[in-house]
Chain A
Amino acid sequence: MRLTLVTAKRVLTQLRSDPRTIAMIMVLPCLIVGLIAWMFHGTDTLDRFGPVLIGFFPLFVMFLITSITTQRERSSGTLERLMTTPLRKGDLMGGYVLAFGSLSVIQALVVTGFALAVGMDMAGSVPLMILVAMLSAVLGCALGLAASAVARTEFQAVQMLPLVIVPQIFTAGIFLPREAMPTALQWIANVLPLTYSVDAMQKVTAGQGLGEIATDLVVVVLWIIGSIALGILTLRRRTD
């Protein structure tokens, strides 16, 4: 546990010295939300898409940042070195989740606050919306960890973004209601986690409470746990 904490602290110290990454985490999602508010001024577009974007962009950004950071750990040789120290693989993954998870909380607060400030109308509960945004950011982080543990090379790690995230954008019901999709795609959608965080976000927007989104949240949490476990299991101490 102690090694998890010192690793989280180390990752946060690294990020603190990297203002561009912090900007990407905090500013990029706001920029997208702001752009929509501006472009579709006077319509209800922001009200309809804002919440979904608040569910999706943190996931996207955290996936990207996590894959990049862990990939840097690999290419700098520090991963090889860490594997010779008493640090366990779970400590390493735990450290990353803790560091990026705490950023996710701040990110969810910032993005939701910004969306409300630029005029997003919300019928539902703001705290619930923040909770869902936070969970999907942590999900992005967990998926990023799993993807870069599975990847054997830097090239493979880069390919994980279109492989893991992009299909989910189409099946999650962001552009097209899931009911309108072909049955096969609906099956796929029913398995993938983004579907559930988008669904939760849509329900919160419509004014539904914790009871209605509980199943969605459980699925997202299970995906988080499963991804981290997969990351721990596939990260290899011995490499070619």
Chain B
Amino acid sequence: MIVHNPKPCLRYDSRVTAAPTSAVRARGLSVVRGGKDILHGVDLDIPAGHVTGLLGPSGSGKTTLMRAMVGVQDNVTGELTVLGEPAGAAALRRRVGYDTQAASVYADLTVRANVEYFASLAGLRGSDAKDAVDAALTSVDLTFHAAQRIASLSGGERSRASLAATFVGNPELIILDEPTVGLDPVLRRALWELFRRLADDGRTLVVSSHVMDEASRCDRLILMRDGRVMASTTPDDLLADTGTTDAESAFLALIDREGSAS
């Protein structure tokens, strides 16, 4: 049902980008929100050209970390480098696409008008813009709803419209906050296939989720808990390490191990 993005995509070769492997690098990253310490000295490396899953329970700091990466989070300390520049640098705004956890599109505009607006903001115009909008709508399977206003869409359609607005600018680094929540299994699989194709095309994706069974679809995993990185690994290593057969048990095993260590 979701067809391949037909738009000729630029290839981002990880060998020619400045930082050879890391799209995102954090060292001692801390965030204070509302006077509370939310992230406590996070270290992480997110490799370019891969799909990295950011997993953790509700309240573990996934959204906060993503907001820091795209430069809208206040009170961030420590080192955070994105595509070779400090997070939030103006030059990054063309290269990084962000989809917020709740769909962030204009309810009183049509799907197409929304995606067109974000295409313009990304600097696209004329037939380039039109092609990019069509491709983005196709990639999230919303072509038939293009003329519908966001307010009249179902929840899942709305979050896909929000995704299309992120994809339309063809960003190098794509940061998606729980993009598959509330979607049916068929759509979820289709979206993960889309993420995979984007990564094969050279994009870097960071996808948060608290649905552990989505872990197996990622190249790399960052497991968060209480504002800390509990593990940074691959799906296979995670299972091997913990001697479990699914991500959820693996996550619980890690928590138990932490508990007995302290």
A and B physically associate: yes
Contact partner of A237 (CB less than 8 A), chosen from B71, B100, B117, is: B71
Contact partner of A81 (CB less than 8 A), chosen from B104, B113, B125, B149, is: B104
- A3–B120 alpha-carbon span in the complex (Å): 7
Question: For the side of the interface on B, what is the size category?
Answer: 35 or more
Q: A10-B117, A17-B109 are in contact. Are A240 and B75 (CB under 8 A)?
A: yes
A80 CB contacts on chain B under 8 angstroms = 67, 72, 100, 104
Contact partner of A86 (CB less than 8 A), chosen from B71, B88, B93, is: B93
- Shortest Cβ gap from B108 to chain A (Å): 5
Q: Check A106 for interface membership: any CB of B closer than 8 A.
A: no
- Shortest Cβ gap from B96 to chain A (Å): 7
Contact partner of B118 (CB less than 8 A), chosen from A2, A85, A240, is: A85
Interface residues of B (CB under 8 A from A): 33-34, 67, 70-76, 88, 90, 93-94, 96-100, 102-109, 113, 117-118, 120-123, 125, 149, 165, 169
Q: Establish whether residues A76 and B107, one from each chain, have CB atoms under 8 Å apart when the complex forms.
A: yes
Q: Check A236 for interface membership: any CB of B closer than 8 A.
A: yes
Q: A77-B102, A86-B123 are in contact. Are A239 and B109 (CB under 8 A)?
A: no
Q: Establish whether residues B72 and A238, one from each chain, have CB atoms under 8 Å apart when the complex forms.
A: yes
Q: A85-B118, A86-B93 are in contact. Are A237 and B72 (CB under 8 A)?
A: yes
Q: A77-B102, A237-B71, A238-B71 are in contact. Are A85 and B93 (CB under 8 A)?
A: yes
A15: nearest chain-B partner, CB-CB: B108
Q: Establish whether residues A238 and B73, one from each chain, have CB atoms under 8 Å apart when the complex forms.
A: yes
B97 CB contacts on chain A under 8 angstroms = 84
- Shortest Cβ gap from A44 to chain B (Å): 44
Question: For the side of the interface on A, what is the size category?
Answer: 20 to 34
- Shortest Cβ gap from A127 to chain B (Å): 35
- A17–B149 alpha-carbon span in the complex (Å): 10
Q: A18-B108, A84-B93 are in contact. Are A6 and B74 (CB under 8 A)?
A: no
Q: Establish whether residues B106 and A84, one from each chain, have CB atoms under 8 Å apart when the complex forms.
A: no
Q: Establish whether residues A81 and B100, one from each chain, have CB atoms under 8 Å apart when the complex forms.
A: yes
Other CB < 8 Å A-B pairs besides A237-B72, A240-B33, 14 of them? A2-B125, A10-B117, A18-B108, A77-B100, A81-B165, A82-B121, A84-B71, A85-B93, A86-B121, A86-B122, A236-B74, A238-B71, A239-B72, A239-B74
